A = this chain, B = another copy of it.
């Protein structure tokens, strides 16, 4: 807390007379959900700008990065891991296939499944993209020390793990 100002007996007065552009957000800012969303929004804005160069959206990057470290993963696995629904992954995968970033190979022993693999072009792109993401993350969390950043990530994971 920046200054335990005794709650200032919240003025029963209306806002208009002074009308500062800053509203009292103390209640919302006491919520994990609100703060997590705002922080994500900030980071994701920078993310979107930097990734536009590669023609990648956030979910595209997630998929490519997962495939880089999990070659042969299936759509179903990607959906389960990233918490997205199968129908919404189809066009995404199909587009990256058309771009020559990934390729689909029939699964060795399950005729229904399709293994997804990065092409050399995909490998190369994801390698550059991952480097940019690391840079961008460092900028976005520039106000945090390395130790604070680790703590932040650890605590966030405690929420959703």
Contact = CB atoms under 8 A, between A and B. Distances in A.
A72 B155 contact: no
A88 interface: no
Contacts of A65: 27-28
A37 interface: yes
Contacts of A81: 22-23, 25
Contact of A32 (B14, B16, B38, B137): B137
Interface string A8-37: 001010111101011111111111111111
A144 B158 CA distance: 7
A107 B16 contact: yes
A151 interface: yes
A32 B155 contact: no
Contact of A33 (B23, B28, B29, B43): B43
A156 B43 contact: no
Interface centre among A29, A158, A159 (most CB of B within 10 A): A159
